[in-house]
Amino acid sequence: SIRVARTLIRLKKKYPDNVTIILGNRDLNKIRFTSELAATELTDEALSEVPGPFWVPEKKRVSPLQHLTKLIAARDEIDVKQVTQKMLAKENTLANRVRWMLKETMGSDGEFERRRAELALLRGDLPGQNVSE
């Protein structure tokens, strides 16, 4: 969480010779955000080109395009074949790409909403207020 990371950084700064920060697989995975969330990766053209994660078994692999298609179909209660390019373009957002990355490539389904709640807490937002996407 953000609070844990901030605490570790404060400790490292206060006791630089006594604190060693070791990064694990999940920590290093987050470095992917900088490249995979670049504006060039979020274009409508790129949406159809981004594959699902190669490390997930093929039968369970979900690409961003498949993720958005399923999301739209479920939300609008329509068949996936009825999802249009216009619908996809509207939902091809930074927030939805982060949701896909967390759920389909990092095994962290629901983390987006947990982070939203944590950010609201850190900002001192009242319950019911939205942290913008």
The answer to the question of residue 15 being in a domain is no
AA identity, residue 39: A
10 domain residue, yes or no: no
Question: DSSP 3-state assignment of 75?
Answer: helix
131 touches 123 (CB < 8 A): yes
pLDDT-derived band of residue 28, with 50, 70 and 90 as boundaries?
Answer: confident
pLDDT of residue 78: 97
Residue 85: which domain range? Answer: 31-123
Q: Is residue 19 one of the residues assigned to a domain?
A: no
Q: Per-residue pLDDT tens for 51-65?
A: 999 999 999 999 999
Domain total of the chain: 1
Residue type at position 16: P
Q: Is residue 5 part of a domain?
A: no
Supply the angle between the helices 111-123 and 2-14 in degrees, to the nearest 10: 60
Distance CA 63, CA 102 (A): 12
| Least trusted range by pLDDT, from 1-15, 22-36, 44-58, 98-112 | 22-36
The predicted model scores a pTM of 0.76
How high is the pLDDT of residue 131? 56
Q: How many CB atoms lie within 10 A of CB 65?
A: 19
Place of tokens 């937002």: 125
